[in-house]
Structure 1
Amino acid sequence: MIGQVETAEENTVKGGQAKAVAVFGAGGHTGRFVVAELTRRGIAPMAVVRSAATLQREGVFGSEIDIREAGIDDDASLDRAFAGVDAVINCAGPFLDTARPVAAAAIRAGAHYLDVTAEQPSAMATFETFDEAARNAGVLILPAMGFYGGFGDLLVTAAAGGWTDVDDIRIAIALDTWHPTKGTRITGERNTAQRLVVSNGSLVPLVPAADDLEMDFPEPFGRQNVVALPFSEIPVITRHLRPRELHSFLNRAALRDVRDAATPAPKATDETGRSPQRFAIEAAIRKGGETRRIAARGRDIYAFSAPLICEAVERLLDGRSRGSGARAPGAVFEAGDFLDALSAQVPDFELIQE
Structure 2
Amino acid sequence: MTKPLFAIYGAYGHTGRLVASELLARDEELLLVGRDAAALRALADELDAGDRVRTRTAPVDDVAALREVMAAADVLIQCAGPFAVTGAPVATAAAEAGCHYVDHALEPHHVKAVFDTAQATAQRTGAVMVPGVSFYGGLGDLLAGAVSDGIAGIDRIVVAYAVNGWRLTTGAKNTATRLLAETERLTFSDGALHAGYVEPRNAVFPFPPPLGPRTMIAPFPSFETVTLPRHVPVRNIDLMLSTSAFEATDAFASEHIGAAERAGTDFTVAVQAMWEGGAAAGQLTGHDLWRAGALASVEAAVRIAEGRGPTKTGVLAPGEAFAAEEFLRELERQGAFTLTLRRGEDGGGERR
79 and 164 in structure 1: CA distance in 2 versus 1, 3 angstrom threshold: farther
Pairwise CA RMSD: 2.3
Q: Is the 8 A contact 2:263 2:289 kept in 1?
A: no
When residues 259 and 122 of structure 1 are mapped into structure 2, their CA distance, relative to the original with a 3 A threshold, is farther
Three-state SS of the structure 2 residue aligned to 1:197 is: strand
Asked whether 1:335 is paired with 2:324, we answer yes
Question: 1:195 aligns to what?
Answer: 185
In structure 2, C-alpha distance between the alignment counterparts of 1:263 and 1:77, rounded to whole Å: 32
Q: In the aligned structure 2, how far is the partner of 1:295 from the partner of 1:265?
A: 31
Matched, 1:69 2:57: yes
Match of 2:22 among 29, 33, 37: 37
Partner of 1:73: helix, strand, or coil?
coil
Choose 320-329 or 235-244, whichever is displaced more.
235-244
Write the distance in 2 (CA, Å) between the matches of 1:266 and 1:299.
Answer: 17
Give the letter for the 1:217 counterpart: F
**Contact 1:149/1:232 (8 A) holds in 2:** yes
Residue matched to 1:22: 7
Which residue identity does 1:61 align to in structure 2?
A: L
Q: Percent identity between the aligned chains?
A: 33
Give yes or no for contact 2:101–2:301 (8 Å, CA) kept in 1: no
Structure 1 residues without counterparts, runs of 5 or longer: 1-15
Q: Deviations over 1:22-65 (max 9, x none)?
A: 10000111111111111112221211121221344576432532
Match of 2:224 in 1: 233
The whole-number CA distance in structure 2 between the counterparts of 1:351 and 1:215 is 19
- In structure 2, C-alpha distance between the alignment counterparts of 1:63 and 1:43, rounded to whole Å: 10
Task: Judge conservation of contact 1:180–1:266 (CA < 8 Å) in 2.
Answer: no
1:253 is displaced (CA, Å) by 1.4
Structure 2 letter corresponding to 1:195: R
Given that 1:180 and 1:265 are in contact with CA atoms closer than 8 Å, whether structure 2 keeps it comes out as no
User: Residue type of the partner of 1:135?
Assistant: Q
| Structure 1 residue matching 2:135: 3-state secondary structure | coil
Aligned partner letter, 2:268:
A
Contact 2:14–2:259 at 8 Å: present in 1 too?
no
Q: How many residues align?
A: 334
Describe the superposition over 1:290-329 as per-residue Cα deviations: whole angstroms up to 9, x where unpaired.
1111101111222211110111112112222231111112
Please give the per-residue CA displacement for 1:255-280, whole angstroms capped at 9, x wherever unaligned: 444996456665433xxx86111100
Q: How far apart, in 2, do the equivalents of 1:92 and 1:126 lie? A: 16
Distance 1:209 1:68 in 2: 42
Question: Quick check: 55-64 or 274-283, which moved more?
Answer: 55-64
Report 1:198-237 matches (<5 A): 198-204=188-194, 205=196, 207-208=198-199, 210=201, 212-218=202-208, 220-228=210-218, 229-237=220-228
8 Å contact from structure 1 (residues 230, 247) kept in 2: no
Q: TM-score, normalised by structure 1?
A: 0.87
> Is contact 1:197-1:206 (8 Å) kept?
no
Q: Is 2:31 aligned against 1:46?
A: yes
Point out the more displaced range, 302-311 or 255-264. 255-264
User: What amino acid maps onto 2:47 in structure 1?
Assistant: F
Q: Which residue in 2 is equivalent to 1:345?
A: 334
Amino acid of the structure 1 residue aligned with 2:75: A
CA distance in 1, matches of 2:54, 2:89: 22
Q: 1:57 to 1:267 in 2, by over 3 A?
A: closer
Unaligned regions of 5+ residues in structure 2, if any?
Answer: 343-352
With the length of structure 2 as denominator, give the TM-score of the two structures.
Answer: 0.88
* Residue in structure 1 matched with residue 314 of structure 2 by the alignment: 325
